[in-house]
Amino acid sequence: MTNSRLQHKIKTFVYTGILILAGGLSPAQADNLQPATLQGRILYRGLIPPPEQHIITQDVETCGATLQTRPITISDDGGLVQAVVSVEGVSGTPLSSKQAPVSISNERCQFRPHVAVGSVRQPLEVENFDAILHNTHIRRETRAFFNVVLLPQAKGIKKVMKNPGLMTISCNKHPFMMGYIQVFDHPYFAITDSQGAFTIPNLPPGTHRLSIWHETLGTIHQTITISQTNTANLTIEFPTR
């Protein structure tokens, strides 16, 4: 993928809305409540771009002659897959360095998972399960975070993530390979599953601004107020294109 195509894919589209999960809170009221679990779904009901076809000319025995990638994947009822949901402006202790690492693997010339999330201080482990060489290159904007040649089926390499932000993953040997990692400096984030569902536990009560990012659809924002101590539920729909 060329740099211009990559920049186009990560341009931000901003949509702002307000969702009140319960009545507004004063600071004193918020202090008296326990953290809540935020559960929800992210939906998209707009046009789905056709799959992108990549013609492969090297390592065909492992990668195949063609590779198909989907810019947008949804469930049968519109649940948006691999959207990253996070809470902005909330202080919280990042995940411990003793947490299990975020794992990115090279498998049949694709990054799995295609989109990953993690916290500063958390290790990132990059593995190569293929019987061919890969050169995994992870960047934040133009600055390299990880640029390592991975021998066939070699042991994974770990590196601690120290800065928040969006990182792109590519392979210097196979330019059709692409992935993303969103890194946060707090624990209030999640990625949607195959049904577009997500869960963020232990969210402090009060009014928060949610950010929902998708590699093709961009970013939307939603303001929510949580004033209950158990589980808050919401559904957010991306604007149609």
Same domain, 159 and 226: no
pLDDT 10s digits, 140-149: 988 999 999 9
Domain final residue, candidates 154, 185, 216: 185
**R_g of the chain computed on alpha carbons:** 19
User: Which residue type sits at 200?
Assistant: I
Q: Do 132 and 116 have their domain in common?
A: yes
Give yes or no for residue 123 having a pLDDT over 80: yes
Provide the domain count of the chain.
Answer: 2
153 and 128 together in one domain: yes
Q: Please list, residue by residue across 83-96, b when 16 or more beta carbons sit within 10 angstroms of its beta carbon and e when fewer do.
A: bbbbbeeeebebbe
- Identify the domain containing residue 212 by its residue range: 1-92+188-241
Do 102 and 21 belong together in one domain?
no
Same domain, 110 and 67: no
Residues 88 and 101 both lie in one domain: no
Domain boundary among 165, 185, 205: 185
Q: State residue 237's pLDDT score.
A: 96
The beta strands (E) that lie in the chain are given as: 16-20, 36-43, 52-55, 66-69, 84-88, 102-107, 110-112, 115-119, 123-128, 134-140, 143-150, 157-160, 165-171, 178-184, 189-191, 197-203, 206-214, 218-226, 231-237
CATH number at residue 117: 2.60.40.420
178 and 201: one domain?
Answer: no
pLDDT tens-digit series, residues 52-81: 999 999 999 999 999 999 999 999 999 999
pLDDT at 19 over 60: no
Q: 11 burial class (0-12, 13-18, 19+ CB within 10 angstroms)?
A: exposed
